[in-house]
A and B are shown apart, each in its own frame.
Chain A
Amino acid sequence: MRIIGLFKPNLNKFILVFAILSFSSAILFANEPVKNADSEHADANVGVQDSTAVEAENSATSHEKAKEEKFNPSELILEHIADSHDWHLWGHTSLPLPIILYTPKGLEVFSSSHFHHGEQAYTTANYTYKIEENKIVVLNAENEIDEAATKTIIDISITKNVCSLLISVTLLLFIFLSVAKAYKNTVGKAPKGFQSMIEPIILFVRDDVAKPNLGKKYAKFMPFLLTIFFFIWINNMMGLIPFFPGGANVSGNIAFTMVLALVTFIVITVNGGKVYWSHIFAPHVPWWLYPLLVPVEIFGMFTKPIALMIRLFANITAGHILVLSLISLIFIFKSAVIATVAVPFTVFISVIELLVAFLQAYIFTMLAALFIGMAVEEPHAEDHH
């Protein structure tokens, strides 16, 4: 029943952290330059809404042409791990996502289906837009890219990653609000239903992650640790689903992991006690070593969150690339026989990725707790070292 106390007063904080995380990620996603152009593949996809028979025919032929050309696995893989303005569902069908642009002439909201998967430009009252290398650019009267105008617009679109993020946040809120409610209803009784599944995981984070690293002060940081743990975990898991509600490479996006690392950095810095700062600015070494050691320690403040950022990003992206390259083997060798090897191996890697999804969430939370623990260390504890 201690768990109720853990949930109730902290629920607001929990929701707040969520809101901040998802909002800042959303902004970063949209502004992140994505370096890949896959016009052939984009041509092959026909919008759900605006497809006419002629267009369907055209893109079908271009698709065949693309097939005859040499299959380029790295292009395909990079397209799948990158963010995009529409969500590929199956075959030639994809879900167009809204485009929201903050321009000097006001807010513009329209569907990405107007671009016909990057083939066409779309003219609104203010500007003419086109998708160039997955990024929205402004065209001038001569249909050339207007660099100056492109720089003034801020892209805050709901892209594939943002959409996936919103789905996972909704899912998490649904799970945790219902579980929190269940604790109110079953006071003094054994947990039941979904509660029984979530409780051991929360207790795991509390007993194996928070308590050993944070000591007595663990309760204050539980909302943060639980939030990042479940947030990373659910996004990792959603990324492993190969079709619609999942499949976006959210936790393998450097902007997403950067926001998580930034929040961790802020938590560490804000909670840094006397011991933490004296370790940085007055380490226990002879004074003449200070010019050497203080910059190193200051540098160390930033390398910790940066390592967190790169670790999560690279691990999840590597997993996605691995699965996609194994599937690509079938198309590289142009033989169904390869599938007998590639498909079981993909299943094997996917199972390992399930473990990695949990492990990376655990390691991120563990290291965050470790760094926070170092920051909130009490002076007397330090004397023992």
Chain B
Amino acid sequence: MTGSIAAIGAGLAAIGAGIGIGRIGGSALEGIARQPEAASKIQATMLIAAAFVEAVSLFAVVVALLGNG
């Protein structure tokens, strides 16, 4: 039972991270399309923002993993 709940939690975390990183990636693409010369700067900022979003979802996954065990 706790396993299933943990799995649902991990899934929800994946949804959140997916939306977040998708938006970051989409906006970065738009930015690069508008200003291709700023691509490297945008990429670096994008990676950092993605890392922050990812960290939150990974917290959730770790909690799910610990709750499962």
Within 8 Å CB of A359, what residues of B? 47
The distance from the CB of A315 to the nearest CB of chain B, in whole angstroms, is 7
Contact A310 B48 (CB under 8 A): no
Q: Which of B20-28, B29-37, B57-65 contacts A (4 or more CB under 8 A)?
A: B57-65
Contact A311/B54 with A35-B69, A318-B61 known, Cβ cut-off 8 Å = yes
Contact of B55 with A310 in the complex, beta carbons under 8 Å: yes
- Contact residues in A for B58 (Cβ distance below 8 Å): 310-311, 314-315, 318
Number of B interface residues at 8 Å Cβ cutoff, please give it.
13
The residue on A at minimum CB distance from B56 is A307
The yes or no answer to A366 lying at the interface (CB within 8 A) is yes
A370 to B61, CA, bound (A): 26
In whole angstroms, how far apart are the Cα atoms of A311 and B58 in the complex?
7
**Shortest distance between the CB of A317 and any CB in chain B (Å):** 8
A195-213 interface with B by 8 A CB criterion = 208, 212
In chain A, what residue has the closest Cβ to B50? A363
A329-385 at interface with B (beta carbon < 8 Å): 359, 362-363, 366-367, 370
Of all chain B residues, the one with the shortest Cβ separation from A313 is: B62
Report Cα–Cα, A104/B54, bound state, in Å. 45
How near does chain B come to A26, taking the closest CB pair, in angstroms?
24
Q: What string of 1s and 0s marks CB contacts (under 8 Å) between A10-27 and chain B? A: 000000000000000000
Q: Per a CB cutoff under 8 Å, which of B47, B54, B69 touches A315?
A: B54
Question: Once bound together, how far apart are the Cα atoms of A78 and B51, in whole Å?
Answer: 25
- Give the complex CA separation of A359 and B69 in angstroms: 29
Q: Which of B44, B51, B62 is packed against the most chain A CB atoms within 10 Å?
A: B51
Q: What is the bound-complex CA distance between A307 and B47, given in angstroms?
A: 15
Within 8 A of B (CB), among A127-184: none
Chain A residues, Cβ within 8 Å of B69: 35, 78
CA distance A78 to B68 in the complex (A): 12
In the complex the two chains form, what is the Cα distance from A212 to B45 in whole Å?
11
A35-B69, A314-B61 known; A208 and B51 CB under 8 Å?
A: no
CB distance B55 to A370 under 8 Å?
no
Contact of B51 among A212, A313, A367 (CB under 8 A): A367
Q: Are A370 and B48 in contact (CB under 8 A)?
A: yes
A316 CB, nearest partner CB in chain B, Å: 11
The interface residues of chain B lying within 8 Å CB-to-CB of A310 are 55, 58-59, 62
A124, B59: Cα distance in complex, Å: 43
A318 to B55, CA, bound (A): 12
CB-based nearest B residue for A314: B58
Give bound CA distance, A315 to B57, whole Å: 11
Please name all residues of chain B whose beta carbon is closer than 8 Å to the beta carbon of A362 when the two chains form the complex. 47
Cβ of A212: which chain B residues have Cβ within 8 Å of it?
A: 44
- Complex CA gap A313/B62 in Å reads 10
Residue of A nearest to B69 (CB): A35
**A310 and B52 alpha carbons, distance in the complex (Å):** 11
Complexed CA–CA distance, A78 and B66 (Å): 12
Asked if B55 and A311 make an inter-chain contact with CB atoms under 8 angstroms apart, the answer reads: yes
Question: Across the interface, which residues of B come within 8 angstroms of A311, CB to CB?
Answer: 51, 54-55, 58
How distant is the Cα of A212 from the Cα of B44 in the complex, in angstroms?
11
CA distance A312 to B69 in the complex (A): 21
Interface set, chain A 290-341, CB cutoff 8 A to B: 307, 310-311, 313-315, 318
CB of A36, distance to nearest CB on chain B (Å): 9
* Chain B residues with CB below 8 A from A35, complex form: 69
15 contacts between A and B (CB under 8 A): A212-B44, A307-B55, A310-B55, A311-B51, A311-B55, A314-B58, A314-B59, A318-B58, A362-B47, A363-B47, A363-B48, A363-B51, A366-B47, A367-B48, A367-B51
Q: A313-B62, A318-B61 are in contact. List 5 more A-B contacts (CB 8 A).
A: A78-B69, A307-B55, A310-B59, A314-B61, A362-B47
Binding site for A on B (CB under 8 A): 40, 44, 47-48, 51-52, 54-55, 58-59, 61-62, 69
